[in-house]
Amino acid sequence: MNIEIRYQSRTGHTKAVAEAMGKAIGVTPKDIKTPVTKPTDILFIGGGIYAFQTDPELVAFMKNLDPEKVKKVVVYATSGMLKGTLKKLQRLTKRKKIPLHPETLLLIIPQKTAPTKSQLEQAANFAKSVK
Ligand SMILES: Cc1cc2nc3c(=O)[nH]c(=O)nc-3n(C[C@H](O)[C@H](O)[C@H](O)COP(=O)(O)O)c2cc1C
């Protein structure tokens, strides 16, 4: 089973969450600058939200995803409050007609704070729960 984890992160929160997930399931997370090129059973994809917007590079990553290569997408996000990026990732996955895992992970991590130990544990447990 090939599992990939990608993250978009400007201030390190989503990266830390991706790393906690990766450690839990034995996968090295990569930045969205690395496209998915290998056949992938499960792709975890996540990012933050900035001035009400999803990062344009994350949107471009999703638009460039090859539905022939990815069997299932799991979306996660970090934010100060808003669910916008989570919703956007769900919409972009559906538009590609790639099956979407029904569970999502949203962690509220305001600007200038850091993920808590309990949030990182939540991320690890979430990753382990995905089959
Ligand atoms: C410049 C900036 C703008 C932000 N704007 C919003 C926003 O409009 N709504 C929100 O809920 N969170 C906002 N946040 C909070 C981030 O989405 C949140 O801290 C997220 O975890 C950042 O992820 P990252 O560290 O992986 O980049 C903003 C953070 C920054 C740095």
Q: How many independent structural domains does the chain possess? A: 1
Report the candidate in 107, 89, 12 with the shortest Cα–Cα distance to residue 43.
89
With a 6 Å cutoff on the Cβ, whether 32 touches ligand 1 is: no
Q: How far is the CA of 89 from the centre of ligand 1 (A)?
A: 16
Give the pLDDT confidence score for residue 104 in this predicted structure: 98
pLDDT in tens, 64-91: 999 999 999 999 999 999 999 999 999 9
CATH number where 61 lies: 3.40.50.360
Q: Which domain holds residue 113?
A: 3-121
pTM for this model (two decimals): 0.98
Flag whether 112 is in a domain. Answer: yes
Residues 127 and 25 sit within 8 Å (Cβ to Cβ): yes
Flag whether 130 is in a domain. Answer: no
Flag whether 127 is in a domain. Answer: no
With a 6 Å cutoff on the Cβ, whether 109 touches ligand 1 is: yes
pLDDT in tens, 80-131: 999 999 999 999 999 999 999 999 999 999 999 999 999 999 999 999 999 8
Q: Which two tokens stand for residue 101?
A: 């895992």
Which of 5, 10, 17, 79 for mutating ligand 1's site (highest number of atoms within 8 Å of CB)? Answer: 79
Flag whether 129 is in a domain. Answer: no
Give the pLDDT confidence score for residue 87 in this predicted structure: 98
d(CA 104, CA 90): 9
Flag whether 131 is in a domain. Answer: no
pLDDT in tens, 11-50: 999 999 999 999 999 999 999 999 999 999 999 999 999 9
d(CA 8, CA 101): 19
